[in-house]
Chain A
Amino acid sequence: MTSDLTGLLAHEMAAALRAGTVSARDLALAHLERAERQNHALNAWLLIDRAGALAQADAADAVLKRARAEAPAVLGTLHPLHGIPVGLKDLISVEGGQCTAGSRILEGYRAPYDAHITGRLREAGAVFIGKTNMDEFAMGSSNEYSAYGPVSNPWDLDTVPGGSSGGSAAAVAAHHVPLSLGTDTGGSIRQPAALCGIVGMKPTYGRVSRYGIVAFASSLDQIGPFARDARDAAALLHAVVGRDERDSTSAPIPVPDELLHLPESDDEAVAWLRGKRLGLPREYFVAGMDPDVERRIREGVAFLEDAGAVVEDVSLPHTDYGLATYYIVAPAEASANLARYDGVRYGLSRRLDGADFIADYLATRGEGFGAEVKRRIMLGTYALSAGYYDAFYLKAQKVRTLIKRDFDEVFASGIDALVAPTSPSVAFRFGAKTSDPVSMYLSDACTLPVNMAGLPGISVPCGLSEGLPVGLQLIGPAWSELMLFRAGRAFEGLTAGATWKGQEPTALVDADGAHGPTPADRAALLAASG
């Protein structure tokens, strides 16, 4: 019974709840059990909150019971997320709960308030299973930079789930939750979605309020959904989008309710593609891309063409400058955002006997931050420092304009959406990219330009390469999330019969119980064997 429940999609769970064939408590118990059983092997969760989840599930059941007894019409008005288990990346504030951002410097910190999106999920009646593991302060592409240990990819436990939202992606791929939220600053939702074989979307900058989200780079950060299909991801996005007074960068753009009504029928979904103009940006087929990944992408493109879409070669000429631009702008913003971790108002605090306050800061931050975070703070500080600001930061901001213009011009020419790879490779082994920071940064070559331009992007599964998932990325103009979900839904319809469809992560059979190796053990073993 329990494994049957965790195999359902969120919209299937929602139907069962309304029909009364399953309770929110049943759902919570099934997902908690699975998460608890497999977390030793996967390390996707930093916190599994059994008591909290069951309390929320019971409350959701009470609403369902009352509705069924008194006003059955109310059942229809409940949010699709009512009673549904969700995971939250551990930089999303949940009042009274931990919010480590994957860092030691926030160990023990308890959020004094809910993030805006947390409040919205509570209103929707969602059930919080727990907080997921992540690269420290969202800086990373493999979850190897978490201060709480790496996460294993459910498809091959010796490989990474991607990052920085590695825990959120792995949890959904492993059926610990049907839905989770992550954040994406340079690709941190889309890339792990691709590596874990699930759907992940980064909305347009400004779609979702960042209030209560630990900040990395304030002009790039966005919150977004992970799910196992487009309909579920769209419902989760719908639950959290919209203007919030407390985040002045959250846009007053209306929320399309059509996000909750993506087609049920594959034929109807696929019909949307007829006549759509899709652009294939040549610069995204980056040097060093895995040839088999490229093959999967091109097969995906062929499917789209067979369905009636017109696929054209386009150029985004400044793509190659994206990496350098991003790795100036994001660290610069991070150096400012992370200045608050000084051990004075919260977090790790080292007060040295007889020392001055600067020595205290040096000790607190030196101890509390990991190597990648320090690297980025250093880069950012340098790029903003006197004498270098013009050459680095200002220059990067100007190139950002050029990157954005590339997209604007392509969309203005009538292209509906861009189709591209999400990641140049499939999931890589622990340690494969940690010795050279730049090789890790290249994992995001196809995703970070989208953040620089503030545009929405989605990754949908498009097959396997040597048993590991490949993701297809779709990029749209600002505010086109509904269009992207329709395109993603259409692609799902097109690939419904594919041999890789419905395959569960094969490595999960090795993920049960508390006695096998942890992801950290596996990483150490791989490092030792060279």
Chain B
Amino acid sequence: MAGLSRADVEHVAYLARLGMSPDELDRLQGQLNHILDQYMKLAELDTDAIPPTAQTIELENILRDDIVTPSLPQAAVLANAPKSEGTFIVVPPILGGEAT
């Protein structure tokens, strides 16, 4: 596995929607590569026949009856919204802009 190039770091930062200065990106590149080196240790283990563990608790398919129960009042939901209008949260425009 190759280490992270500067372009990789910028790409991952963009995927994670983290805005960072060039200095931050430089620092991060070194730190991330140092941490990624630790991951190489896992290659020592033969895990072909080992199932993955996603959860340590043996619960499956917890369901509830499809009954309407009280939820948060609208006012409570809207109270933290940076921008709201009536009963709506105002979101930045997604469609029709230059962003992909």
Contact A438 B77 (CB under 8 A): no
Contact B55 A438 (CB under 8 A): no
A402-B18 in contact given A110-B80, A360-B92 (Cβ < 8 Å): no
Cβ proximity bits B3-14 to A, threshold 8 Å, 1 near / 0 not: 010001100111
Cβ proximity bits B43-54 to A, threshold 8 Å, 1 near / 0 not: 111010011111
Find chain A residues with CB under 8 A from B83 CB.
349, 351
Contact B38 A324 (CB under 8 A): yes
Answer yes or no: A327 CB below 8 A from chain B CBs.
yes
Show 24 residue pairs from A and B whose CB-CB distance is below 8 angstroms, ordered by the A residue: A206-B57, A249-B55, A321-B44, A327-B38, A346-B81, A356-B97, A357-B97, A357-B99, A361-B17, A362-B17, A365-B18, A365-B19, A366-B20, A374-B20, A375-B28, A375-B35, A378-B12, A378-B28, A378-B32, A398-B50, A398-B51, A437-B35, A438-B35, A478-B56
Find chain A residues with CB under 8 A from B12 CB.
378, 381-382, 385
CB distance from B23 to the nearest CB of A (A): 11
Find chain A residues with CB under 8 A from B51 CB.
398, 401
Find chain A residues with CB under 8 A from B82 CB.
343-344, 346-347, 349, 351
CB distance from B1 to the nearest CB of A (A): 6
Residue among A205, A382, A392 with most chain B CB within 10 A: A382
Closest residue on chain B to residue A451 by CB atoms: B56
Find chain A residues with CB under 8 A from B76 CB.
112-113
A358-B45 in contact given A344-B82, A437-B34 (Cβ < 8 Å): no
Contact A357 B42 (CB under 8 A): no
Roughly how many angstroms separate A453 CA and B64 CA in the complex, as a whole number? 28
Contact pick for B64, options A245, A345, A391, A436, CB 8 Å: A245
Answer yes or no: B68 CB below 8 A from chain A CBs.
no
Cβ proximity bits B86-99 to A, threshold 8 Å, 1 near / 0 not: 00010111100111
Contact A251 B18 (CB under 8 A): no
Roughly how many angstroms separate A452 CA and B56 CA in the complex, as a whole number? 8
Find chain A residues with CB under 8 A from B15 CB.
381, 385
Find chain A residues with CB under 8 A from B56 CB.
205-206, 219, 404, 452-455, 478
Residue among B42, B81, B99 with most chain A CB within 10 A: B42
Cβ proximity bits A244-259 to B, threshold 8 Å, 1 near / 0 not: 0100110100000000
Contact B52 A378 (CB under 8 A): no
Roughly how many angstroms separate A125 CA and B41 CA in the complex, as a whole number? 49
Find chain B residues with CB under 8 A from A307 CB.
none
Closest residue on chain B to residue A372 by CB atoms: B31
Answer yes or no: A396 CB below 8 A from chain B CBs.
yes
Find chain A residues with CB under 8 A from B94 CB.
357
Contact A109 B80 (CB under 8 A): yes
Contact B35 A327 (CB under 8 A): yes
